[in-house]
Chain A
Amino acid sequence: MIDDPSSLLHTHPSLLLRLRDARDAGAWVLFVEVYTPLIYRYCRKHQLQEADAAEVAQEVLLQVNRSITAFEYQPERGRFRDWLGSVVRSKLSRFFRRVRPGTTDDTQLLANLPAAQGDADWADHFNNDLLQTTLTRIQGEFEEHTWQAFTQTWRENLSAAETARLLSMPVAMVYVAKSRVLKRLREEILHLAEDIPHLTPLQNTGQDDSNERAELSTS
């Protein structure tokens, strides 16, 4: 496996790392599919008209494209989420300035920049939206009852025993289902955003996930 050095690089490349690789065409597609709706919805939440939200989202995505390929986003300098947040905020404020001149002034805006980490509104939106998207993306990978078991215990907060009764399956299998989906979920979020809070080491990473990735890229 180690014979081919490039395979080492490809064991856990995050989407953001993949974006830098000009040969990885699927990365940009995936990125657009995941983050365009996320940013679009954020703009909508901030009372932008549909067309405006689309415009801002487009600007952000193009900016990200330029910046990422230019290696300007550097993971060691901070979270992708915060970095993306600052791009979004800057495009949004530019939009507001254009639409309502005089309402936002530049210096104020800049003064707000360092507070990016404290922008709970953005963080919440990012986390929730990414979670929803990821769930939708991975759902197809699981059998119906596995997904149901996961949904009932994790999302509906039903106890494992109740879920087991509801779905007529052994309690142990409910836990197995929950565990499998969560593991995949975590993996995928990590892949998409390089960012799992309180990251705990994954135990079993031996499985080759390139098939999954191929699936994702073409979906």
Chain B
Amino acid sequence: MIPMKELSCPPHKTLESLLAATLSDEQQTIVTSHIEDCQACQARLESLTGDQSLHSFSHDKKTSSTEAPPPWLLSQLLKSTHEGYGADEVLSFLKPALQEGDLGQLGAYRIKRVLGRGGMGVVLLGYDTMLKRLVALKVLWPPPGDLSSRSRVIREAQAVASIHHDHVVGIYAVQNEPGEPPYLAMEYVPGKTLKEYFKQQDVAVSQYLNWCIEIAEGLSAAHAAGLIHRDIKPTNILIDENTQKAKLTDFGLARASENQTDQTRQVLLAGTPAYMSPEQIQHPELVDQRSDVYGLGATLYEAITGTPPHRGPVEELIRQVVDIEPIPPRRLNLSIPVDVETICMKCLAKEPSQRYASTSHLADDVRRYLDGQPILARPLSWLERSIKAIIRRPLISALGALLLISFVAGTLVSLYYWRRAEQNLIIANEKIDTAFLTIDRFCLRVSEDRLLSEAGMLPLRQELLQIAIPELQKLSLDRPSDPKLHEKWIKSTYLLAKLKHDIEGPAQALPLLQSVMPDLRERHHLRPGSDADRRLLADVLMYEGICRENMRHFSQADMIWKEIEQLLLDQQAPEDQLILARLYVNWNKTWADQGNYHRSDQYAKKAQSISKVLTVSHQELNEARYILAASTGNIAHGQVGMGQLIEAEKSYHQAIALWQEITRDEPKQVMPEIEKLRTQINLIDLLLASSRYDEVSKLVANELPAIDRLIRKYPQSITLTRFYGTLHIDAGYAFHLNGKAAEAERHYQLAVARLNDCHTENPNEIPIHYDLIRARLLQAYQCQDARQLDKAIASWEEILSMLHDYVGEVPGAEQEMKLYRQAVLMCRAMAKEELGQPASAKVDIQSVLHDEPNYPGLCHITQLLVEERSTGQDQTTEMMKHYRKMIEECLAGEKLGPSPATLYYLAANGAARSVMIIAKDSSLKLAEAQQLSEQYRSAALRWLQAARSYGYFAAKERREALAKNPSLSALHQTPEWKALLSELK
């Protein structure tokens, strides 16, 4: 039976034909009857009809609700899309055409043809019969009856209509009539979208870059109007075929402020987040103009590589945009210039803070590239990306460093090596070597690249270091026994400590350094002749000393310095001598920081003499020149500290000359130029302290072109901005003290303007904020001293709030700011008093008195002066006693320090006043009175001199003021007074 069945079973093909109903009737009958009894054939049919493809549809065949939606819903849906602007009758809203060849009529426009369709509606080519020009009509598609979206569309259109720019498609009119869909009449740009140019082979990269600049400029105009575009993509950029100019269109998603989330979802639903920035996906409410920088970058990316930065289904796309770094363009097309890649990748940074701050920054950089100038974007930023990519892939993170190389080198070869390494996943010794090397190189760049410590670069730098630390930590986890690896381990730990120091502070770095110290000492002990071991020990020790020094553990630092000195003293090799010179520079700092300039000077001189020898004998040791210049500058500082001003001036000049030489030989290095400026500014401060105002003005005038040039080159640099501010403040101060109010004001204004801009851009840069306050204070002092009292009062008001903000931001600043606050309040009290507002002046004084005044005596004098003048009465004996007490307080050692002339003037006033009081005080014995009177008189004169040296008044006003002031009349009799007066004439 079995063999018979086997024989008569139909072939597979026949069964398939049976199921497909293609067998002849006869065949079918035979087969059917066979199957009826054949289990084997039934099983075969079972498997032929067991449809796997419907599996997921069939697993729950029975349970399903059959509840039907209300019938009105279906009819509504069918109706609204038929009668509205649905799929079938897109143009149903048009009125019949008035002219032959037109599609129809919409308002005053004759519709010629459909230009395109988009998510928001349809774009028509219309002819404006009134103005006789072609226009693009964008008919918007709000859900029928949805009034709020209608009005929103209109509001948006109105906002965009306010932008007038060559590279933004202009809006002529907004129409919102009942019975019509709302629509915009826009400038008609004949030509194609940028997207269509991508398909052409013959568009030069420079052409794309020019368009990029144009769109960036258009965007800047929009941003200035408070609008963010949010949907930059190649299809939203039109290229005018007549002028070849790019124009940005479709501000459909742009809005000034509200409800961004909804808009974002629109784009997400539309399935085109390829050009959307990560923050737009994650935090739509945080979107700012840098999101448009991203969108433009993504467009540029596609322009030069032919593919958008990310592709895939929406969910995947979203993940990529948020998490995955795009492939660097040069990987896709080697002919793309490195700078263009860098610009592009900077736009596409995940962190907005790492992108260009604005589209105009982007435009500037692109222009710089096109002009053949160096661009500001740093390619390093995608080194960081590569590390991030490594960290996101835990499997291969041990080999991360190798990947790093591939990114650094950017060549296919290293990528190949990385791939191979990834496959093998064998961490061989030489690979660890490479890892160390790479991290080494990376850290070197990060920590020694001066520009990285500049504004804007600061967060990047922090992040870079943060990323490197775990990599390093992995490598330094276990102490290898292999001696060669052992050394690597020490080095990487040392490096890690350096990074930790930079990020988390010296206290965090110290334990790491100490952890390798026993090993280092042992190595040195075992092989005392080994140069490498000794120098490594010295280097690590040096860093420990620097940590101690920064933690202000001066005695520990001193001990470490001694140990290093012992280690190197007998070593004659230039490399050792160089370390020794470096040691002395640090040692010098330790003493200078403690205010012991005599000791610090010794070490600065040692550093100077060693480095001097080295610069002659071993010119290849470039660092020696730097140490020589730096130590010479340090010597000058010490001399200032010791009061040797003449010597200091000489040393400063030497240091400046040394930096100048280095600048000349290494024109590409910025650091020496910056150091030169720094030294120059120190010299200026010295001259200022010596009242050599004319020289200061001249020196500043000499340096200003240099600083202007540098600032243009590195507009983001915090250091340079501070220099700029300081130079102008110094110049302003010099002119101020020289009695040249107009010039002083001009310089102060420049300083304030620049510092203010920088502060707005970098609100977290404390030094800038500090400098700004300083500049504002001096500007206001100048105002008050120039007797522009109303203006001064307004300034004081503003400064008070600045001080308040500053205290809020900078922990530990309370004391210093309190001092400023009190000075400001007292100055304001004086100004108010002079303007005849004694009541208001009293409030200010009370507020200082409330605040534990730093200058209690001065404050009381001010109080009494205001009191006395406001009552117009002579003082009671009681008050006079009080007065005297205050003067005593004042004399007892109130250091006025670098206070405004106003305060000195005030003190002088008070002292003079007290001379009068003493004369009237019958309770004093004659001798006593004479002695006190003499004492106060000389104090008053001293302070008056000080006020004068601050240029308190211009000569003429000064004379008048002195003559008018009754309280100073007591001084008239003294010879000093007469001398002073004659000097004034």
Q: Which residues on A are within 8 Å of B, measured CB to CB?
A: 19-20, 22-23, 25, 27-29, 32-33, 36-37, 40-41, 44-45, 50, 53-54, 57-59, 61-63, 65-74, 77-78, 82-83, 86-87, 90, 106-107, 109-111, 113-117, 123-124, 127-132, 154-155, 160-161, 170-173, 175-176, 178-180, 182, 185-186, 189, 196-200, 203-204
Query: Which residues of B are found within 8 Å of A77, using beta-carbon distances?
Result: 271, 312-314, 317
Q: How far is the CB of B33 from chain A (nearest CB, A)?
A: 8
CA distance A171 to B77 in the complex (A): 46
Number of interface residues of B (CB under 8 A): 75
The stretch that binds A, out of B277-285, B342-350, B607-615, B672-680, is B277-285
Distance between Cα atoms of A74 and B274 in the complex (Å): 13
The 0/1 profile, CB within 8 Å of A marked 1, for residues 311-335 of chain B is 0111101110000000000000000
Known: A116-B315, A182-B54. 20 other contacts (CB 8 A): A22-B90, A25-B88, A36-B73, A65-B86, A69-B87, A77-B313, A106-B261, A110-B261, A113-B315, A131-B57, A160-B46, A171-B36, A175-B18, A179-B19, A179-B48, A182-B49, A186-B51, A189-B54, A197-B56, A198-B52
The 6 A-B pairs with the shortest beta carbon distances in the complex, nearest first, are A78-B313, A40-B69, A106-B261, A179-B19, A172-B32, A172-B35
Task: Write the residues of chain B forming the contact surface with A, with a CB cutoff of 8 angstroms.
Answer: 16, 18-22, 28, 31-33, 35-36, 42, 45-46, 48-49, 51-58, 60-70, 72-74, 76-78, 80-81, 86-90, 117-119, 141, 143-144, 261-262, 264-265, 268-272, 281-284, 312-315, 317-319
In the complex, the chain B residue whose C-beta lies closest to that of A176 is: B19
- Say how far B281's CB is from chain A's closest CB, in angstroms: 7
Shortest Cβ distance from residue B930 to the other chain A in the assembled complex, whole angstroms:
81
Majority DSSP secondary structure for residues of A touching B: helix
Separation of A70 and B313 alpha carbons in the complex (Å): 17
Is B52 a contact of A32 with CB atoms below 8 Å? no
Enumerate chain B residues within 8 angstroms of A132, measured Cβ to Cβ. 64, 66
The closest CB in chain B to the CB of A160 belongs to B42
Select one of B20, B53, B72, B118 contacting A70, CB under 8 A.
B118
Nearest CB of A to B832, in Å: 51
* B48 to A: closest C-beta gap in Å: 7
With A128-B60, A172-B35: A70-B117 Cβ-Cβ less than 8 Å: yes
Contact across chains for A110 and B19 when beta carbons are under 8 A apart: no
Is A19 a contact partner of B49 (Cβ separation < 8 A)?
A: no
Cβ of A5 to closest chain B Cβ, rounded Å: 22
Closest to A19 in B: B87
**Which of B31, B33, B45, B261 has the most chain A CB within a 10 Å cutoff?**
B45
- A54 shortest CB reach to chain B, Å: 5
Is B52 a contact of A203 with CB atoms below 8 Å? no
Nearest neighbor of A189 in chain B, beta-carbon distance: B57
Q: Which B-chain residue is minimally distant from A74 (CB atoms)?
A: B271
Which residue in A50, A68, A130, A170 is a CB contact (below 8 Å) of B57? Answer: A130
Bound Cα distance A180, B20 (Å): 7
Question: Which residues of A lie under 8 Å from residue B77 when comparing CB positions?
Answer: 32, 36, 58, 61-62
The answer to whether A28 touches B64 (Cβ under 8 A) is no
Given contacts A36-B69, A175-B49, A203-B20, contact A28 B315 (CB under 8 A): no
Sample 7 A-B pairs with CB under 8 A, ordered by A number: A32-B74, A40-B68, A57-B73, A65-B86, A70-B270, A132-B66, A198-B52
> Are A128 and B73 closer than 8 Å at their CB atoms?
no
How far, in whole Å, are A23 and B88 apart by their CA atoms in the complex? 6
The minimal Cβ–Cβ distance linking B678 to chain A, given in whole angstroms, is 47
Output the nearest chain B residue to A62 by Cβ-Cβ distance. B143
User: Across the two chains, which residue of chain A brings its CB closest to B270?
Assistant: A72
Give Cα distance in the complex from A66 to B221, angstroms. 31
Cβ contacts under 8 Å, B63 to chain A: 128
What residues of chain A lie closer than 8 Å to B18, measured between beta carbons? 172, 175-176
Residue of chain A at shortest CB distance from B34: A172
* Closest chain A residue to B87, Cβ basis: A69
Which of A28, A36, A71, A198 touches B88 (beta carbons < 8 Å)? A28
Given A72-B119, A154-B58, A160-B46, does the pair A198, B87 have CB atoms closer than 8 Å?
no
Q: Which residue from A28, A110, A160 sits with its C-beta under 8 Å from B284?
A: A110
Contact of B53 among A45, A69, A127, A196 (CB under 8 A): A196
